[in-house]
Amino acid sequence: GEDVEQSLFLSVREGDSSVINCTYTDSSSTYLYWYKQEPGAGLQLLTYIFSNMDMKQDQRLTVLLNKKDKHLSLRIADTQTGDSAIYFCAESLSGGSYIPTFGRGTSLIVHP
Amino acid sequence: GAVVSQHPSRVICKSGTSVKIECRSLDFQATTMFWYRQFPKQSLMLMATSNEGSKATYEQGVEKDKFLINHASLTLSTLTVASAHPEDSSFYICSARAASGSQETQYFGPGTRLLVL
């Protein structure tokens, strides 16, 4: 299987919370990232978490890490139509070059 | 924040021509730049890592004679797709890592859409 797995689609109503899930296989992953890609654009780093952390919150974004289950999630509170995009989960290792390995991305669709 | 630009944003060319894509770090020096390729509805595939002043390191399966990378300065890396063919059509994204600061983050360019007819 792939190193980083995500569900491909998520549809939510405007104002609701969105939760995007990701699983990874490498237990030695040091950093875990969430990137956002809008149509036809590059990737924007939203947030990242060091592997010794369980949670990180940044305004509407909450990242939860379950290292035992190798599960990462991104919660977007009060989801807006502008949040519609593809969200990529990625992992990287410290012993080397920190080059992230990306998942295939979750397409988030926010409808009124 | 750190800004990375790419030029051109979109290019259409005939089969057999070579196409050069530039990646620039606008407000920081980048010792390392990365080139990715993204297929529709797919993840980013790392093609190569380039360090300023040295040869690029290519990922397995990426032809270095096809995808020529030059990291001429701390703010500029170029990817040249030599003798492009329709199967080279894709979205190419570069990223850059700052010479100073945290090594675990990269800043991505907006991408270049290449269409080879």
Contact B103, B2 (CB under 8 A): no
Q: Tell me the per-residue pLDDT of A86-97, one tens digit each, with 9 for 90 and over.
A: 999 999 877 657
Whether omega for the bond prior to residue B8 falls within 30 degrees of 0, making it cis, is: yes
Q: Tell me the per-residue pLDDT of B77-99, one tens digit each, with 9 for 90 and over.
A: 999 999 999 999 999 999 998 87
Closest CA to A100 of B53, B32, B19: B32
Interface A-B: count of C-beta contacts within 8 A: 50
Whether residue B21 lies within 8 A of chain A, CB to CB, comes out as: no
Pairing of strands A9-13, A106-111: parallel
Residues of B in contact with A44 (CB under 8 A): 108
Whether residue B14 lies within 8 A of chain A, CB to CB, comes out as: no
Residues 6+ apart with CB under 8 A from A77: A17, A60, A61, A62
Q: Tell me the per-residue pLDDT of B8-23, one tens digit each, with 9 for 90 and over.
A: 999 999 999 999 999 9
Give the residue from chain A lying closest to B113, CA to CA. A40
Structure confidence at residue B41 (pLDDT): 75
Q: CA of B45 to nearest chain A CA: how many angstroms apart?
A: 8
Residues of A in contact with B95 (CB under 8 A): 42-43
Q: Tell me the per-residue pLDDT of B29-40, one tens digit each, with 9 for 90 and over.
A: 888 999 999 987
Query: Cβ–Cβ contacts within 10 Å for residue A59, how many?
Result: 8
Structure confidence at residue A92 (pLDDT): 87
Q: Judge whether residue B104 has pLDDT over 80.
A: no
Q: What is the Cβ-side half-sphere exposure of residue B98, based on CA atoms within 13 angstroms?
A: 13
